[in-house]
Structure formats: C-alpha cells, structure tokens
Amino acid sequence: DSGVTQTPKHLITATGQRVTLRCSPRSGDLSVYWYQQSLDQGLQFLIQYYNGEERAKGNILERFSAQQFPDLHSELNLSSLELGDSALYFCASSPSGRAGNIQYFGAGTRLSVL
C-alpha cells in the first residue's frame, strides 16, 4: 500500500457528462501529480500541484481541470466527456516539489465513458 488513496476505483458515465476524481496524498507529501493511461499508451503526465499551487502542466485538455486543497487532497475534474477520455487515471504524490523525488502512486480510477 503506497499510502495514496484514490476514489472512486471505477466510474462509468455517459458522453457529455462531468466527473470528479479524488486523490489523497501520503501523509506529509506536499506534491500531487495526475496521469492518464489510455489503451496501449504509456502514462501521460497531466498536471502537478505543490502545496496548493499549480507547478507544471502537461498534455491536459482544456475540458479538464484540477486543484489541490488546503488539506492537500486533490481533485481532477473532467467535463464534456468524450469516448476517448476512457482511461485509467493515476494520482501520485511526493514529499516535496523537488524534481526527481520518488513518486508514490495510488491504485488509479478507471473511467469508462459510454
């Protein structure tokens, strides 16, 4: 168990809908990362937060947004969902915002858009 908690584990929804994925980092970790893994693709970096502030942005669509709250948990909001958004979404945390820190991954949320 990495100590990173993601909810829900599975989510099934329809095109056009909006969902929120939640991540609680390991106790004491200040940095949270979000990744997307689609079929036959590697993990794609979406966004990183450090202590409540956005630190880095990857290939995140405009329909997606995220935030990190004062208690350090993070939410990834996906809106106007399309079939192609079906994927495994991982959250990871690390102790500080330092580049190169080990990341601890949650178990992921599997999103199915029908």
Partner 1 sequence: ILNVEQSPQSLHVQEGDSTNFTCSFPSSNFYALHWYRWETAKSPEALFVMTLNGDEKKKGRISATLNTKEGYSYLYIKGSQPEDSATYLCAFLPTSGTYKYIFGTGTRLKVLA
Q: Smallest gap, in angstroms, from Cβ of residue 19 to partner 1?
A: 20
Q: Of 65 and 105, which has the nearer Cβ to partner 1?
A: 105
Q: Smallest gap, in angstroms, from Cβ of residue 44 to partner 1?
A: 8
The long-range contacts involving 37-43, CB below 8 angstroms and separated by at least 24 positions, are 37/87, 37/88, 37/89, 37/90, 37/108, 38/84, 38/86, 38/87, 39/87, 43/90
Q: Smallest gap, in angstroms, from Cβ of residue 42 to partner 1?
A: 4
Element (H, E) at 93: strand 87-94
Q: Which residues bind partner 1 (CB under 8 A)?
A: 2, 4, 33, 35, 40-45, 48, 55-58, 90, 97, 99-108
